[in-house]
Amino acid sequence: RHIITILEQADDRTLVLLDELGSGTDPAAGAAIGMAILERLTNRRVITVATTHYGALKEFATRTDGVENGSMVFNVDTLMPTYRFRQGIPGASYAVEIGQQLGMPEEVLRRATTLIGEDEHQLDEIIIALDKERERLHTAREEADTLRTELDQLKQDYHEKVAAYPRKEQALMDKARAEADRLLREAQATVERTVAEIREEQASRASIKTAQETIKDQRSLLAALLSDTTPAP
C-alpha cells in the first residue's frame, strides 16, 4: 500500500527510500516488480535509494540510464563489514564464500553454486575480485598518503635547517669579530705600555720608533684578522 501511494504522489522533489525492493515473493517476480517500480520513479525524476539482493536488479541498474549501483564493502577474509560505501559497483551475496569460511561441506556448496546458476555465480566472483582489488588499492593509497605526509615533514625540517644556517653562521662571525677586536685592543695596550716604559727610561728615538712600528704591525695584523671575519657582500 505504501508503494502504491509513493507511485501516485512522488515527484522530482521527493526522496524515496525502499528497503529490499521486491522481497517477500518469488525472486523472479519480485525482481520484475522492482524493476517496474524503479523505472516509473526514474521516469518521474524521483530521487530513490533502494536496497536489494536480487542480481536482476543489479543488472537493471547497470544498463539503465539514471540508475546506478552502489554497495557497502564487505571483508570476506574476516566476515566483517567495513562500513565503507562504494559508488558504481553492486554488492555480491558472499553466500558461498561465507559458507566456506564457516566450514560448510564442499558438496553442499557445489550444489548451491549449481542451483544459483553459472551466470549469477560468475557475476558474484567478478564482484568479489573487484572488491579485493579495490581493497588492495585502498590500502596502497593509504600507505602512499602516509609516505607523502612523512616526505612533507622531512622537506619542512630541511627548509627550517637551511633557514637557520645563515643565523648560526652570522653568530659565529660576530663571535670571531668580537674576539679579534679584543685581541687588537690588548695588543695595542701592550705596545703602548711598552712605549711608555721606553719613554720613562729615556730611550733613544730609534727604540721608540721601533716600538711604534711594532704597534703598526700589530694593528695591521689584527685588522686583517677582522677583515677575514667579515662576510662578503
Q: By three-state DSSP, how is residue 69 classified?
A: coil
The mean pLDDT value of the chain amounts to 78
* Structural domains in the chain (count): 2
- CA distances to 53, 115, 214 from 88, rounded to whole Å, are 16, 28, 92
Q: Which domain holds residue 7?
A: 1-68
Closest C-alpha to 178, from 107, 229, 141, 232: 229
Asked whether residue 181 is assigned to any structural domain, the reply reads yes
Name the domain boundary from 20, 42, 68: 68
- Side-chain half-sphere exposure of 187, counting CA atoms within 13 A: 19
Quote the pLDDT of residue 102.
82
Quote the pLDDT of residue 150.
82
Name the domain boundary from 41, 68, 95: 68
Quote the pLDDT of residue 101.
80
Give 28-50 pLDDT, tens digit per residue: 899 999 999 999 999 999 999 99
Give 153-186 pLDDT, tens digit per residue: 877 877 777 677 777 777 777 777 777 777 767 7
Name the domain boundary from 16, 35, 68: 68
Quote the pLDDT of residue 202.
56
Quote the pLDDT of residue 62.
87
Asked whether residue 117 is assigned to any structural domain, the reply reads no
- CA distances to 29, 31, 68, 103, 197 from 22, rounded to whole Å, are 8, 6, 18, 31, 119
Give 86-138 pLDDT, tens digit per residue: 888 888 777 777 788 888 898 888 887 777 665 565 666 667 777 777 777 77
Neighbours of 233 (CB within 10 A): 3
* Predicted TM-score (pTM) of this structure: 0.50
Q: CA-CA distance, 27 to 131, in Å (whole number)?
A: 25
What is the 3-state composition of the chain as percent helix, strand, coil, each rounded to the nearest 5?
Answer: 70, 10, 20
Contact at 8 Å (CB) between 94 and 101? no
Give 79-96 pLDDT, tens digit per residue: 788 888 888 888 877 777
